[in-house]
Amino acid sequence: MTEDRGANRRAEAVRELTARLGHDFARPELLDVALTHASVGEGAERDARGRPFVDNQRQEFLGDRVLGLLVAERLMRDFPQADEGEMSSRLHALVDKAACARAAERLGLGPALRLSPGESKQGGRRREGVLGDAMEAVLAAVFLDGGLDTARAVFDRAWAEELATPAPRSLNNPKSALQEWSLGRGLGLPAYQVTARTGSDHAPTFTVEVTVQGVAPLTAQGRSRQEAEKAAAVALLSREGMI
């Protein structure tokens, strides 16, 4: 009986989520996959046909790319005077897991998730990583079912608050902001190192690792060394909860 009540509550949450997305799925199984966490495959749970559930990891991979395209497109429109470095910084702030999780919370995605009993008991429906990954997977499901215009409409609704919030000062000069943060904690100066350079000479991609004493290092990419360093600084500030 308890399992039935739980299933009914989740089914209602999925209906409410679908309404908030504003898209009537021709292939609802895409949304079902997007809402299925990898922990479900660790147990003995099966779908109505007795098959193991397919989790959302592949759709998360696609959704990350769809989100990046939609954010880049929006920034090109909204900030016609911004240089590549500033847009890269803004992009990283809008596509990181925290931003995705906030978008998921606004849509009420948590109650619609299919989680293993253990993950659910541990608060998975409110966990930033779980919500952020699922939001990307849902965006991919919308894209696969309705195309890019439909995904754009969902993005505009789900990220409206993020887009309306003024960019923090740290995004204007993220390397200076990271330096202030690290020095203020007695951690010394951040260090940047190019760890890879790929692509052709006229269109290279740089991978830069930023390290701060006592903090796990982090890497990011950019079309120039300076852009990659800024992206790495933004990512580290975001991970440490500074933006």
Topology of the domain covering 2-164: Ribonuclease iii, N-terminal Endonuclease Domain; Chain A (1.10.1520)
pLDDT in tens, 77-90: 998 988 777 787 78
Least confident of 90-99, 168-177, 186-195, 197-206: 168-177
Domain ranges of the chain: 2-164, 169-239
How far apart CA 149 and CA 142 sit, in angstroms, is: 10
Distance of CA 130 to the CA centre of its chain: 10
**Does pLDDT of 147 surpass 60?**
yes
The pLDDT, as a whole number, for residue 149 is 97
Instruction: Identify the bridge partners of residue 208 per DSSP, sorted by sequence position.
Output: 194, 220
- 1 pLDDT band, cuts 50/70/90, is very low
State the DSSP code for 36.
Answer: B
pLDDT in tens, 95-125: 888 889 999 999 999 999 999 888 888 888 9
Alpha helices in the chain (DSSP H): 2-21, 28-34, 57-78, 84-95, 97-107, 117-121, 128-146, 148-158, 160-164, 169-172, 174-184, 225-239
- 64 pLDDT band, cuts 50/70/90, is very high
CATH 3.30.160.20: does it fit domain 169-239?
yes
The pLDDT, as a whole number, for residue 27 is 96
**Does pLDDT of 170 surpass 90?**
no
**Does pLDDT of 5 surpass 70?**
no
- 46 pLDDT band, cuts 50/70/90, is low
Question: Which tokens in the block code for residue 146?
Answer: 């309705």
Q: Is 184 exposed, middle or buried (0-12, 13-18, 19+ CB in 10 A)?
A: exposed
Active site residue 64: yes
Of 16, 64, 105, 162, the active-site residue reads: 64
Of 32, 60, 119, 136, the active-site residue reads: 136
